Structure formats: structure tokens, C-alpha cells
Amino acid sequence: MGNVKYINAMQDLLVIQVDRSTLEKYLQVEREIAEEEQNNPIQPLELKSNQLVKLTNEIEALEASLEELQLQTEKEKADVDMLENSDGDLKSTLLEMGNTFDDQMAKEKAEYLAALNKQEIAERELETQKKTRDQVAEEVAELETRAQKLHDLYKQHDNLLDRLFGGEYGSVLENTLEAELDELEAHRGRIMEANFKWRQAQMMLEYACKQLAVAVQKWQDLPAIPSIDLEIRYSVAAETRNNLVAAGQNITGAQRYLDNVTFPYCAPSEVETLNKQATEYVFTDMQSNDRHQHAQTCYTTTHKRASALLQWFDSVINSTIMKDLNDINEKVKIKTLALRQERVRLIQAKVKELWGTDIELDSTLRTHDLDLEAYSRAMVTEGDVVKIEGSELESERAGTPPPLSEDELAPVPSNNIIFGNMYDHYQSQLEGLAKQHQEEMEQFMREQESNTQKINANLQDKLMSRRQRRARMRVEEAQKNALTAG
């Protein structure tokens, strides 16, 4: 008798909870989730938070390096007795040297000039990195707000499902579709993460190529400026240097996003060579034709290789990443719609069971088709990009190096390198998923036919074990880690 009262009470409670507003709220929350996921902030938040940590560490290293460079500059200055009036400013020192550069003190002055230049480069890099850190911190704060909204929608969605189905799965088909969708979303998450990384790095390379073009043009203009116009020559050389430094920082930033990828062009060693052998001695190289020409060759070569690297990036993104992204996105869309239709069917059946009436519900997603190319570009932000205030970014005279042919361009890396080590694992899971769930459904039908209490109880335990969805757990964990890092 007590059991009958308990069942009746639970039935009454369920009737109270499953009303029209609950059903409409559930459908609305699903639509909101679909909309928010089209511009999902989770992966950018995690990656930007990691960038913020790396930038903070780099700033600390730059500050320590700058202190050492300042000491080295003082040492080099002490060796140049004739510069007693120098106040340690690069421009005033260069102007003071003037046309007396090629005397017996040439070597000592060149070393002092290089030391001053390295110090000034370090100061600019430190200032730039601090500005970049602040910009990325703002982006992280905005992404945290959006991620929290999506996280709240997920929790609301799961709570509504619990109310609708008492914490259980509505059917074996719902369980199967949800598990399949989880696998698809996990695989799409891996591809979306790679897409964001490669596009962010691609944008930084675009800036680097433009900055290198400006540097090449300015350096070409330098010999035409009379040697007596020292201030103008200094200004042109300084602009050349600043663009070279910014380009090097942007290439390094691209590598920071893709630390598991070996760049076929502009590898870290090449960027280091550009900085040490060319950029640091730019004001010495401007003093003679031979050194100027040697530096010209170095800058032009770097520009060509950076353009080749950008072309390689375009090839990876267009031939591999976007192809996989379009494919997985269509699969997710189909599976999401199938799961929604099954849940709407189950809700209609429950309403019929409880109230004896039919109810019409919208079983479509009603979301617009996603333009993946536009979406991918919209995700990318410029907070990491090193820019030069007031500097031109286009240079018609320097131009763009001609693109490499398919045979000349470096081959596209493997999927494991592009997407990460888990790519093949997820791909294998997807390929075996249909067979696995077909076997589970066949087993379920056999167990249903036996209709024993023990088997049914075991099956329900199995279904309940899947209630904590893997995709949602990954989202919550990623958000928690990102917020902690931030």
C-alpha cells in the first residue's frame, strides 16, 4: 500500500514539473545552445589563456635580459673615449659620430652602436609584449563571460532533461544518438582547436610579410639619401629595424601557437639569425655599400621565405583543415537534429501518457547554415599581433615575392601534426561507433525479450552511467582550467 502511495506521489510531482512552460523552455534552451556553439568561446578561451601565461613568462625573461644589455652598453661606452658627451641615446650617438665613423675607432664605435641598438630593440620588445599581454587579457575576460553563459545553458539544459525524464534516458535510441553526438562533438572540437591555432598563426604571418615588405623597401631607399642627411638616414634605418623586429616577433608568435609544428620556412633559428646578424647591426650596415648589400640580401631572403610560409599555411588550412571541418560539421548537424527529433517524440509520448492529449512541438533546430570560412575568420583576434603605430603596411615597390609552385612548396604535414596526437584516436572511434551501437541495440532487444527484472535493472544502470556526458565534462574542465590560468 505504501509503495502505491509513493508511486502516485511521484506521478503527481512529475505532472507538476512537466508542464507546457517546461517543454517550451527546454526547446528554447536547445536553440540558444545551438546558436552559442556556432561561435563557441571554449577553445579560444583555453588557447588565449595559455598564450597569456607564455607572454607573462616572456616579459619576465625580457626584463632580466634588458638589465644585462644595459650593463653591456655601459661597458661598450667606456671603451669609446671620444663619446664623452653621449647620453646613451641611439639617435644622438649616431649623429655625434657623423662622418668620422670610418676612423681608427671604427670597431669600438660599431660595437657601442650595436649595444645601444640591442638595448633599444629589447626596450621596444618589452613595451610591445606588455601591450600584447594587456590586449590578450582583455580578450580572455570577454571569452570568460561568453564561456560562462554557455556553461550555464548546458547546466540548464541537463536540469530540464532530468525534469522531463526523471534523470533517466527516454529511450535506447536517445542514449545511442547522444553517445554518437558526443563522439562527433569531441572530434569537431579537436578540428576547431586546430583551425583556430592555424588561422591565428596565419594572421600573424600576414602581418609579418607586410612588415618585411616595408623593411625591404625602406632599406632599398637608404642609399639614395645623401650621407650628410644623417637624421633622415637614421629615421629610414630605424623604420627598417622596427619592421624587422615586429616581423620577427609575429613569426615567433605564430610558432608559439603551433609549438608542435616544424616550420619548413622561417624556423626559429632563421629568425634568430635575422635578429642577431642583421637587425642588431642595422646602423652599422648602413655605413658602407658592402654591408648594406649583404643586409639587403638577408632581408629579401627572409621576406621570400616568410611569403612561402604563408602560402604553406594557406595550403594546410584550405586542403586539410577546412575539408575536415566541413565534413564533421555536417555530421554534427545531422546527428543533433536526429537527437532533437527523438527527444521531441519522447516528450510527446510522455504528455500523451500523463494527460491523454497530443501536443505539437517544434522538432527542428531553426538555426541558419553556418558559413565556416566567415566563422573561422571571425574567431581570430589581433590581440597577439605586434604592430607598429603609424607605420605603413603596404609596399608596392617591394611587392610580394612570386608564389612557389606545388612541386616547390613544402608538403602538407600529417593529420597528427595538424590536429594533434589524438586525431587518429578520435577518427578510429568514429569509424567504430556505428558498429558498436548497433551491437548494443541488438543486445538490448534480446534482453528486452527475456523481460527479467535483473536484466532490466542492469541495463538501466548501464544507461544511467552515460548520463554524465563526456562532451559536457570536457567543456566544464576546459573552462575551469582556462579560468584558473587567467
Question: Over the stretch 68-105, which tens digit does the pLDDT of each residue have?
Answer: 888 887 777 776 655 455 555 666 666 666 555 554 45
Q: What string of pLDDT tens digits covers the 486 residues of the chain?
A: 444 343 343 344 344 356 667 777 877 887 788 777 767 777 778 777 887 888 888 888 888 888 888 888 777 777 665 545 555 566 666 666 655 555 445 667 777 777 787 788 788 888 888 888 888 888 888 888 888 888 888 888 888 877 776 666 667 788 788 888 888 888 888 888 888 889 989 999 999 999 999 999 999 999 998 878 888 888 898 899 889 989 998 999 899 889 889 999 999 999 988 877 667 788 888 888 888 999 999 999 999 999 999 999 999 999 899 999 889 888 888 888 888 888 788 877 877 776 777 767 666 665 556 666 776 676 777 777 888 876 655 555 667 888 999 899 999 988 888 887 655 555 555 555 555 555 655 665 555 555 444 444 444 444 444 444 444 445 445 544 544 444
Cell numbers 610580394: residue: 400
* DSSP notation for 310-337: HHHHHHHIIIIIHHHHHHHHHHHHHHHH
Handedness of CA 152, 182, 333, 173 (dihedral sign): negative
How many CA atoms lie less than 13 Å away from 129 in the CB half-sphere?
24
Residue closest to 346 by CA, chosen among 23, 3, 87: 23
Read off the C-alpha cell for 344: 521531441
Q: Which residues contact 358 (CB under 8 A, 6 or more apart)?
A: 348, 351, 352
pLDDT digits (tens, 9 = 90+) for 270-302: 998 887 766 778 888 888 888 899 999 999 999
Angle subtended by helix axes 90-97 and 106-165, to nearest 10: 160
Residue closest to 340 by CA, chosen among 370, 369, 362: 362
Angle subtended by helix axes 423-450 and 453-464, to nearest 10: 160
The answer to whether residues 295 and 219 touch, using CB atoms and an 8 Å cutoff, is yes
Distance CA(9)–CA(17), nearest Å, equals: 12
Angle subtended by helix axes 372-379 and 172-221, to nearest 10: 60
